[in-house]
Amino acid sequence: MTENLDLAHEINTFRDETRQLSISARFALAMCFLNELGHRLQLSGDALDDFRTHMWASPVLPANSKDFDIWYNALPPLASGQLTTGDLCGITSSTTISATDISRFVQAVNLSSDLLQMSFFLAADNEGTYEALRRISDICRPERYPSVTPFKFSTFDKGNGWGAIMSRYDHQFWKRYSETWFKSL
């Protein structure tokens, strides 16, 4: 029972701490959850690697540049936001995965993509991206939650919702953190 109370407290603290974060920081945390779920399900493959690489290329792009158009037009299939369980070609697991787990992974991929892309063409959506991150965490159901501390400097009130411009070092740190935070669990 104490374990359930501790997890409930951790979830509530996480949600409180992410309310002020930028879209970029919420995306990084979504990738933390997605990577942890993929690790737990032992998923791998070029399609998944391409998705991660391409999605991580986006937060450092200026929103109105030619580079954005190039990036957006080159979205890999997993980043379409319309992924179905039949689209998982090129992703394998070294274990048997239930249909429920496949569905959870597909939902998490779609929501991660949506979280990042929902504010590209309209005004930055604070509530929508916050809700998407909440739903991703609910779908992934991690054993523990990632620390919000590395992301706290990037708040929604800066950079039109995207946060202050990040250094290349911060960007690489976020990416590396999203890929490794869960390995100490």
- Give the pLDDT confidence of 85-101 residue by residue, as tens digits: 666 666 767 778 887 88
d(CA 98, CA 29): 25
Rounded Cα–Cα distance for residues 118 and 135 (Å): 15
Q: What is the pLDDT of residue 101?
A: 87
Tokens 């792009």, residue?
61
Residue 155: what are its φ and ψ, rounded to 5°? -110, 155
- Stretches in the chain below the pLDDT threshold 70: 1-2, 59-66, 81-90, 92, 185
pTM: 0.89
Q: What share of the chain is helix, strand, coil (3-state, %, to 5)?
A: 65, 5, 30
Per-residue model confidence (pLDDT) at position 81: 63
Instruction: In whole angstroms, give the CA distance from residue 182 to residue 12.
Output: 19
pLDDT computed for residue 90 by the predictor: 64
User: Quick one: pLDDT at residue 70?
Assistant: 80
The answer to whether the beta carbons of residues 83 and 110 sit under 8 Å apart is yes
pLDDT of residue 185: 66
Please state the domain count of the chain.
1
| Residue-number span of the structural domain to which 84 is assigned | 2-184
DSSP letter assigned to residue 81: S
